[in-house]
Amino acid sequence: MIKALQRIHDSKFEVKTTQSVSEFMDYVGPEMPMPLKLAFANRWLLKPLILKEYTKTDGGNALVRTTGVTTIINGGVKENVIPNKVEAKVNFRILPGETIQQVLDYVQQAVNDNRVIITKGEANEPSATTSSNNWGFSLIQKTASQVYPDAIVTPFLMLGSTDSKHFADLTDQTYRFFPNRMSEAGLGTIHGINERIRIPSYMETIEFYRQLITQFNQVDKTNN
């Protein structure tokens, strides 16, 4: 089992540029300092180098490829008895454009051991990408610019699973947006010990939603 898990972690999924990441580069590229501005402006030539840089960090790597991490391993129940069955769970974050079946096939090929039975646990297909070319994004962009005038408002790929997946049958315009200033230290507390946000940031979040609701009927909704 350990060898199988190691093979899964050693077998990296293909690096790809999704629509969200491509649009992120379009929006943020002109705001970057040189030479990054030049690199983003010439993605047709420098795309391999840009993607390589993304893969150097955990967060960046998850933006450009399907990732997986072992989260549970169950084996024996007594220290002096060799277990006859071992189970493990690997949690995958599937890149938009890929499917659960593709991940299963990839893992099966990577493990290549008929002693290891690979099955799907609780799983959802990747959420569809929401367009940034409509009134919904325009409303968020306008409101965020008012509350956070020092921030660049840009499309991005949400890395975590959210409850928005439950609305997939109702609309194709689902925006996963949390209006809150987060430091690196604060991000590290999410779903962890002493999870928190700063009070000033919390007040800005309240102001964002107040502005959003107030301006809802003022946005041109003809561009769908």
Amino acid code (one letter) for 62: A
Spatial separation of the C-alpha atoms in residues 128 and 174, rounded to whole Å: 9
* Amino acid sitting at position 161: S
Q: Which two tokens stand for residue 108?
A: 């099966």
For 166, residues 6+ apart whose C-beta sits below 8 A from its C-beta are: none
Rounded Cα gap, residues 153 and 212, in angstroms = 15
Per-residue confidence band for 221, with pLDDT thresholds at 50, 70 and 90: low
Query: How many angstroms separate the CA atoms of 15 and 26, rounded?
Result: 19
Average of pLDDT values for 177-193? 81
Tell whether the model's pLDDT for residue 163 goes beyond 60. yes
Cβ-contact 219, 135 below 8 angstroms: yes
C-alpha separations of 147 from 113, 143, 154 in Å: 55, 6, 15
- CATH code for residues 135-218: 1.10.150.900
Overall pTM > 0.95: no
Residue type at position 96: P
pLDDT of 216 reads: 86
pLDDT band at 203 (very low <50, low <70, confident <90, very high): very high
Three-state secondary structure call for residue 20: helix
> Is 136's pLDDT higher than 60?
yes
pLDDT in tens, 71-92: 999 998 888 998 889 999 999 9
In the chain, which ranges are E strands?
A: 67-74, 87-93
More confident residue, 37 or 142: 142
**Domain edges within the chain:** 2-111, 135-218
Cα–Cα distance, 124 to 122 (Å, whole number)? 7
C-alpha to C-alpha distance for 56 and 25, rounded to whole angstroms: 17
Residue 110 to residue 46: CA distance in whole angstroms? 30
Report, in angstroms and rounded to the nearest whole number, the Rg of the chain calculated over CA atoms: 21
* Confidence at 183, pLDDT banded by 50, 70, 90: confident
